[in-house]
Structure 1
Amino acid sequence: MVLCRTLLLMLIVGASSLCLSQQVASITQTPIYKDQSRSFEVRAADLVARMTLEEKVSQMLNEAPAIPRLDVP
């Protein structure tokens, strides 16, 4: 019973932290993938998460097209 409460509390705190970090990112208006102070891995993951399936598929071509919506040349 105590373990279940502890796990539930951890889930709530984790979800709250995630929501807060997303709110902070939206307040700054600078996408994570454009923040050069972040690691390459974090920036790449953020960029790919923002891409649509069609945009991801288009990047698999030999000469991938730009993605103007995300300001990717």
Structure 2
Amino acid sequence: MVCHKLNYAYALHYCNVGGSTRTYMVSMVGVDGTKVKVVSVCHKDTSFWNAHTIPFVVFKVKPGTMPICHFNFFKMIK
């Protein structure tokens, strides 16, 4: 399970649950040299997701046909 903050007036987190999920720590460098470490969350089973969710619309695929991955920013490194 991976949880991340939501933008509300009080502390609120959304936790990714259901289906198999993999997480990865990824180091990235921006064009300006800024370095970050981020958590990448990959949802391997998307068969139970709503077909109108943004990733399916953008990639023009159906639920359950491909994993959906996204980043959660973790820590700035200077």
> TM-score with structure 2 length normalisation?
0.25
Of Structure 1 and Structure 2, the greater helix share is in 1
Of Structure 1 and Structure 2, the greater strand share is in 2
